[in-house]
Structure formats: structure tokens, C-alpha cells
């Protein structure tokens, strides 16, 4: 019984310390409505809880959390897309923005950036999301199971793609 209470306390502490990561993933892989963000958040937490007893510490805890969160988000997004072919994303909910970002992260064009990112393929969306979340190239490479050089190149191409998409919209 004592071990179970300790495991629950450790898990709850891990959730508190990774709240920003989890909401960031949820905001990046949903239409940002409170219901959909909450649903994805709960699904990620459920998967983290199921995996928690198997966490051995082989990788950094943040890397482990990102892997589970991103895999869950991708799977849930594919499920939604199969059910709702042709439904586009709606505007960003400002209340959720307050949860996710601090004042220094706020930018008047954040919603537009999210809309551009929404149009990227999932693999590119994951990488740019991790980059915007200020992870190092080494951390992103570890999460993605690839090399740091490959990550640098991919992120550079994704940034150029986002810039091009923005330019095309303004023409």
C-alpha cells in the first residue's frame, strides 16, 4: 500500500512539473477548443499513468513524457481525422493561450502561426513544436530517434516552409 501511495505521489509530481509540456502538445494537436484540449490531455495522462510503472529512467523524464504525449496526440489526431474528414480548425481560444504561455511568450501573430503549423504534416508539426518549446537539437534528436544534424536540417526546412506559406497568404 505504501509503494502505491509513493507511486501516485511521484506521478502527481511529474504531472505538475510537466503541465506546460502536456498543454503545449494538446494545443498543437487539437483545434484548441477547451473540450478537445481537455479530452486529449486526459488521454495523455491516462497513457502516462499506464506507462508509469515501466519508466526505468533510461532516458530523461522529459524525453519520456514528450514521446508518450506526442505519440498519443498523433494517434488521437488520426482517429479524429478518420471520423471528421473535411472539418477545418477553428480559431484559437484565448483562455487556453493564458494556460499555455506566459506574457513574454505572447505575440500578436501567435494565432496565425498556429494556423500555419496546423497545415504541416504531423512529422513536421512535431519537430517545429519541440523547437518552439525551446528543446535543444540534441533533445529533439533523442525524442525523434535520429541525429542532431538531421534535426537541424529538418527544422531549417520547416521554418523556410512556414515562411513561404506566410508569404503566399500575403500575396
Question: What does the pLDDT look like over 29-83, one tens digit per residue?
Answer: 888 888 989 999 999 999 999 999 888 888 889 999 999 999 999 888 877 776 6
Buried b / exposed e over 28-42, threshold 16 CB at 10 Å, is bbbbbeeebbeebbe
Question: What does the pLDDT look like over 93-111, one tens digit per residue?
Answer: 444 334 444 444 455 567 7
Question: What does the pLDDT look like over 129-153, one tens digit per residue?
Answer: 888 888 899 999 999 889 999 999 9
* Alpha carbon distance 157, 81 (integer Å): 26
pLDDT score for 113: 81
Domain boundaries, the chain: 2-169
The closest alpha carbon to 18, from 56, 57, 76, 63, belongs to 63
Q: Which fold has domain 2-169?
A: Rna Polymerase Sigma Factor; Chain: A (1.10.1740)
Average predicted confidence (pLDDT) for the chain: 82
Polymer length of the chain:
171
pTM: 0.63
What is the residue-wise DSSP string for 133-163? TT--HHHHHHHHTS-HHHHHHHHHHHHHHHH
CB 110, CB 97: distance < 8 Å: yes
Q: Is the pLDDT of residue 14 over 50?
A: yes
Q: Is 59 strand, coil or helix?
A: coil
Amino acid at each position: 500500500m505504501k509503494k502505491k501511495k509513493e507511486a501516485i505521489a511521484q506521478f502527481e509530481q511529474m504531472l505538475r512539473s510537466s503541465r506546460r509540456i502536456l498543454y503545449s502538445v494538446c494545443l498543437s494537436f487539437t483545434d484548441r477548443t477547451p473540450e478537445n484540449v481537455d479530452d486529449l490531455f486526459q488521454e495523455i495522462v491516462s497513457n502516462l499513468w499506464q506507462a508509469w510503472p515501466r519508466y526505468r529512467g533510461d532516458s530523461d523524464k522529459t524525453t519520456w513524457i514528450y514521446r508518450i504525449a506526442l505519440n498519443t496526440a498523433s494517434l488521437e489526431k488520426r482517429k479524429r481525422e478518420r471520423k471528421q474528414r473535411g472539418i477545418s480548425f477553428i480559431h484559437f481560444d484565448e483562455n487556453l493561450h493564458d494556460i499555455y504561455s506566459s506574457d513574454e511568450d505572447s505575440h500578436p501573430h501567435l494565432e496565425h502561426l498556429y494556423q500555419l503549423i496546423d497545415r504541416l504534416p504531423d512529422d513536421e508539426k512535431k519537430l517545429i513544436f519541440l523547437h518552439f518549446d525551446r528543446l535543444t537539437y540534441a533533445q529533439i534528436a533523442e525524442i525523434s530517434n535520429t541525429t542532431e544534424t538531421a534535426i537541424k536540417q529538418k527544422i531549417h526546412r520547416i521554418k523556410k516552409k512556414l515562411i513561404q506559406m506566410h508569404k503566399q497568404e500575403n500575396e
